[in-house]
């Protein structure tokens, strides 16, 4: 569940100063902030000394606010005074690092301080489209690799291929850059050209590929008919267009009167909570409990199906794996708990929490866990996940052979179920 809230500079600084009495350490998972007017933090970054304590060192629980500021002051001054490479000292990075450490001290990987570039990319992705080249990427051994080229995309039109390695973008080397930093360089306004330095297996030398960026729509939903007249719908994530595309995809598939339906949630990391509830409602009767949300200082909140779904009767199997998380687990768990369909695959990720996203002044954001949710049967998922009704592995050997034993098992279950009627 993602809500947007805007914080003022004073609120941000006050929160950090107050929180430093309670916390102190770092987050990393891909999922941060500089402010234009930030009195307490600016003093620390400028290396200005804070008031001297009247007594000995205070503990983190009883140190007054000015002493916490003084700690940052002292660290800043000592680094500027003693660090062997003064040119490496960057005030913005220090501020971001302090914020990351502050948030990470909670020990919750889902509460995160997200830098402006990352925030922009994440927000854009959740709309269901972006302006860029149309290729998914992965970081392998420190190199940016094109994992998948989207159909009818600028990347496909330019001749880029899966497994191409991107060495540089517009003459800027990607060495040492993160995935999100690299993606930020590749993306850009529709109609502009980006030049990628590509290394490809079978080519002796790297070569430049110019790509004209365009508006690219995510393939959120994929549908097709399988052998045995079984319908197949794959959902990539729960973004702003997911529910609409799932409903349309189901309607198109059901016109072919399938004997069964496979809903593929493998690798789906989640997204908007309400999208999960609405999509679960395509398979469950109106009024059915999808999940219960436990809030910090409020009563629990139930989420139930609000409208009539289009796939209430068709036999159903849901595919899941270790990368099926959050909203995927909401849908899969509700279907399993209400015995609407069988789950096939491997244990899911185990993320049972809800975050609010606070938008900060410089374009960065703070994601804060504000609630935990329970499946209809009352089970918490955090750290555990959902066990499929039928555990079927999908190995690298299967992938290389072009086999999909999980999908095969799903089709087999549906075919057998139809034959028994």
Catalytic residues, which ones? 326, 337, 351
Task: Tell me how far apart the alpha carbons of residues 106 and 91 are, in angstroms, rounded to a whole number.
Answer: 24
Task: Tell me how far apart the alpha carbons of residues 229 and 402 are, in angstroms, rounded to a whole number.
Answer: 21
Q: How far is CA 372 from CA 1, 226, 327, in A?
A: 11, 37, 12
Nearest partner of 117 among 182, 60, 176, judged by Cα: 182
Q: Is the distance from CB of 145 to CB of 163 less than 8 angstroms?
A: yes
Q: Which residue has the tokens 């219960």?
A: 292
Task: Tell me how far apart the alpha carbons of residues 114 and 32 are, in angstroms, rounded to a whole number.
Answer: 3
Q: Is the distance from CB of 354 to CB of 369 less than 8 angstroms?
A: yes
């Amino acid at each position: 569940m993602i809500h947007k809230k805007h914080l003022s500079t004073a609120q941000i600084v006050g929160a950090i100063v107050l929180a430093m009495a309670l916390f102190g350490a770092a987050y990393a998972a891909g999922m941060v902030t500089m402010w234009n007017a930030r009195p307490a933090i600016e003093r620390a970054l400028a290396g200005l000394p804070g008031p001297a304590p009247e007594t000995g060192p205070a503990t983190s629980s009883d140190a007054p606010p000015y002493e916490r500021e003084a700690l940052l002051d002292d660290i800043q001054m000592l680094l500027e005074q003693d660090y062997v490479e003064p040119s490496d000292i960057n005030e913005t990075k220090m501020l971001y690092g302090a914020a990351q450490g502050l948030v990470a001290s909670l020990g919750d990987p889902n509460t995160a301080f997200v830098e402006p570039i990352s925030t922009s990319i994440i927000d854009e992705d959740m709309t269901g489209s972006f302006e860029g080249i149309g290729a998914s990427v992965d970081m392998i051994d420190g190199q940016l690799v094109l994992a998948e080229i989207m159909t009818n995309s600028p990347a496909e039109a330019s001749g880029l291929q899966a497994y191409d390695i991107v060495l540089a973008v517009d003459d800027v080397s990607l060495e040492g850059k993160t995935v999100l930093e690299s993606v930020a360089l590749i993306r850009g306004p529709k109609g502009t050209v980006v030049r990628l330095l590509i290394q490809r297996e079978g080519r002796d030398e790297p070569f430049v590929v110019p790509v004209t960026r365009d508006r690219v729509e995510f393939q959120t939903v994929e549908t097709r008919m399988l052998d045995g007249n079984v319908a197949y719908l794959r959902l990539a994530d729960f973004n702003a267009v997911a529910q609409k595309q799932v409903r349309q995809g189901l309607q198109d598939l059901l016109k072919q009167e399938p004997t069964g339906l496979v809903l593929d949630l493998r690798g789906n990391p989640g997204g908007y909570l309400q999208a999960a509830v609405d999509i679960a409602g395509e398979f469950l009767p109106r009024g059915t409990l999808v999940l219960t949300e436990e809030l910090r200082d409020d009563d629990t909140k139930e989420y139930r199906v609000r409208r009539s779904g289009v796939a209430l009767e068709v036999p159903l199997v849901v595919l899941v794996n270790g990368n099926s998380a959050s909203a995927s687990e909401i849908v899969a768990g509700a279907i399993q708990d209400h015995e609407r369909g069988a789950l096939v695959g491997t244990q899911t990720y185990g993320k049972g929490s809800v975050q609010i996203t606070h938008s900060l002044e410089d374009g960065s954001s703070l994601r804060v866990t504000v609630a935990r949710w329970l499946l209809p049967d009352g089970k918490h998922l955090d750290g555990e996940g959902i066990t499929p009704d039928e555990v079927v592995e999908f190995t690298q050997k299967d992938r290389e052979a072009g086999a999909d034993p999980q999908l095969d098992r799903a089709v087999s279950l549906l075919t057998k179920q139809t034959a028994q009627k």
